[in-house]
Amino acid sequence: MRMVVLGLGYLGATHAACMAELGHEVLGIEVDPEKREQLAAGVVPFYEPGLPELLRKHIDSGRLTVSGSYRDAAEFADVFFIAVGTPQKKGEYGADLQYVDAAIDELIPLLTRDGLILGKSTVPVGTAQRLSDRAAELAKDVDVEIAWNPEFLREGYAVKDTLQPDRLVLGRFAGGRAESVSRDIYSSIIDSGTPFIITDPPTAELVKTSANAFLATKISFINAIAEVCDAAGADVKAIADAIGYDSRIGRKFLNAGIGFGGGCLPKDIRAFMARAGELGAAEALTFLREVDNVNMRRRTRMVELAREVCGGTLLGKRVAILGAAFKPESDDVRDSPALNVAGQIQLQGASVSVYDPKAMDNSRKLFPTLDYSSSALEACDQADAMLLLTEWQEFLSLDPAELGKRVRHKNLVDGRMCLNPTVWESAGWNYRV
Ligand code: UDX
């Protein structure tokens, strides 16, 4: 089938390449000329394992093409995916829908035949209805159907999550062709037994926000228990393991530490609260404010721990920060807890040296005043404390003896609770979580 993907950021580029992999002919629309050129040349402008191979394969095969023109989009197909960003509004909790609105406003007046628009971007409940009304005003002698088909992909596993998702969700208005077209688009995924949930648009929109709110709550739950463990002298990791064996609870997303960040969970729970407020249901989600609070306290606590191991002050101390991405297998530093902590420690007078296997360029752009090192060892040179803040595989195999020779003081704060305390303590390190 022929289809267009509007927006080739993280979500759109992955979706476009994966749709080509499913055998479709895909035109990706990207308005940023630099990104567009890179993608058209088969280069992925961010780090996502497996995506460069897939993109190159389908750029080379011709099944995936890239353009900056909405006119090209309107001519190419009559099925359009919206995959543009919905960031947090500046100074407010709500989602900024300007890119979604712009895509609709630009595309629809150009349509010369009936079109189906499938939204993938994460949006506040009610958006598909609002866009449908807007589409009806903008369409010239054509019918435009809007449905919502949220994505659930995780950075680092985006290709797998798109091609082998846990489930597909479609929210469509009655009487349209969204369901039959989606069944065609995803036929091989559906045939392999993937659950396909057909519902109405507000429910589909809420499935996505509810999923992210639940994941954020699970992480903050275990981090709240970590606070109690600190006070009581108990081991939160053992608690996570023990409660995780209960199949009703499950062990995933119970890793305590510095908390969640990234371009999705923090802004999605805030947008969810803001939308519930608009709908008069604010009280239902007041617990998410606490989820957010617990999460932000983890960052403050990490700074306090660094200050404590440095003898009560960070002034004039050297601190090594291992990890800058918001999680491993990603170069994304949006709302990264690691960089946030690095910035706070620097503000308290320490000199901070950051190393990350993939996120150095993005970190430099966001925090140009931090010092950056080209390896974990270099970052630790003469350090008074080393903070492990993103659990990259290469940090899990660090040698305590070798690092011990580089640092000034053997203080280790494990912000992801991912190292073996016994190994580090027996090499003479003060291991703290
Ligand atoms: C998330 C959702 O998982 C995905 O379904 C949705 O489509 C987009 O948002 P992503 O932002 O890629 O995906 O990251 P995720 O793997 O969910 O991790 C989010 C944050 O939580 C990271 O900072 C991670 O380090 C942290 N985290 C995760 C924890 O602190 N503890 C855990 O146990 C799990």
pLDDT of residue 171: 98
Q: Is 365 exposed, middle or buried (0-12, 13-18, 19+ CB in 10 A)?
A: exposed
Atom of ligand 1 nearest to the CA of 211: 5
Q: Ligand 1 test: best mutation among 157, 268, 327, most atoms within 8 Å of CB?
A: 327
Q: Ligand 1 test: best mutation among 157, 243, 254, 265, most atoms within 8 Å of CB?
A: 265
Question: Which residues lie closer than 8 Å to 1 by C-beta, 6 or more apart?
Answer: 24, 25, 77, 79, 181, 184, 185
Q: Are 262 and 359 in contact (CB under 8 A)?
A: no
Atom of ligand 1 nearest to the CA of 154: 12
CA distances from 348 to 274, 310, 353 (A): 33, 12, 14
Q: Kindly give the parts of the chain with pLDDT less than 70.
A: none
- Where in the chain is CATH 3.40.50.720? 2-199, 213-432
| Both tokens assigned to 347 | 């503000």
pLDDT of residue 103: 98
Nearest CA to ligand 1 atom 32: 253
Residue 199 annotated as binding? no
Atom of ligand 1 nearest to the CA of 390: 25
Catalytic residues: 264
The pTM for the full model equals 0.97
pLDDT of residue 302: 98
Name the E strands within 54-178: 64-67, 79-82, 115-119, 144-148, 168-171
Sign of the dihedral through C-alpha 328, 332, 333, 335: negative
Residues 96-138: tens digit of each pLDDT = 999 999 999 999 999 999 999 999 999 999 999 999 999 999 9
Residues 23-80: tens digit of each pLDDT = 999 999 999 999 999 999 999 999 999 999 999 999 999 999 999 999 999 999 999 9
Question: Which residues lie closer than 8 Å to 340 by C-beta, 6 or more apart?
Answer: 261, 299
Cβ–ligand 1 distance for 103 under 6 Å, the answer no
Residue 408 annotated as binding? no
Residue 155 annotated as binding? yes
Nearest CA to ligand 1 atom 7: 152
Cβ–ligand 1 distance for 254 under 6 Å, the answer yes
End-to-end CA distance of the chain: 52
> How many angstroms separate the CA atoms of 124 and 206, rounded?
8
Pairing assessment for the beta strands 371-372 and 144-148 based on DSSP bridges: unpaired
Cβ–ligand 1 distance for 3 under 6 Å, the answer no
> How many angstroms separate the CA atoms of 234 and 242, rounded?
13
- Number of Cβ within 10 Å of residue 35's Cβ equals 19
Of 37, 39, 34, nearest to 8 by C-alpha is 39
Q: Which amino acid would we find at residue 394?
A: E
3-state secondary structure (DSSP) of residue 257: coil
Cβ–ligand 1 distance for 152 under 6 Å, the answer yes
Atom of ligand 1 nearest to the CA of 151: 7
Sign of the dihedral through C-alpha 47, 51, 53, 56: negative
Q: Ligand 1 test: best mutation among 155, 218, 264, most atoms within 8 Å of CB?
A: 264
3-state secondary structure (DSSP) of residue 205: helix
Cβ–ligand 1 distance for 218 under 6 Å, the answer no
User: Cα of 265 to ligand 1 centre, how many Å?
Assistant: 7
Q: Any idea what DSSP says for residue 9?
A: S
CA distances from 3 to 184, 239, 309, 370 (A): 12, 48, 56, 44
CATH superfamily membership of 213-432: NAD(P)-binding Rossmann-like Domain (3.40.50.720)
Atom of ligand 1 nearest to the CA of 262: 11
User: What is the phi/psi pair of residue 274, to 5°?
Assistant: -60, -40
CA distances from 343 to 115, 302, 307, 350, 368 (A): 47, 12, 14, 10, 10
Q: Are 8 and 46 in contact (CB under 8 A)?
A: no
| Both tokens assigned to 171 | 């929210």
> How many angstroms separate the CA atoms of 324 and 331, rounded?
8
Q: Which amino acid would we find at residue 197?
A: I
Long-range CB contacts for residues 236-242, cutoff 8 Å, separation at least 24? 236/417, 237/417
Average pLDDT, the chain: 97
pLDDT of residue 409: 98
Question: Which residues lie closer than 8 Å to 60 by C-beta, 6 or more apart?
Answer: 42
Cβ–ligand 1 distance for 150 under 6 Å, the answer no
- Tell me the fold of 2-199: Rossmann fold (3.40.50)
Strand partners, 430: 411
Number of residues in the chain: 433
> How many angstroms separate the CA atoms of 333 and 254, rounded?
22
pLDDT of residue 168: 98
Q: Any idea what DSSP says for residue 108?
A: G
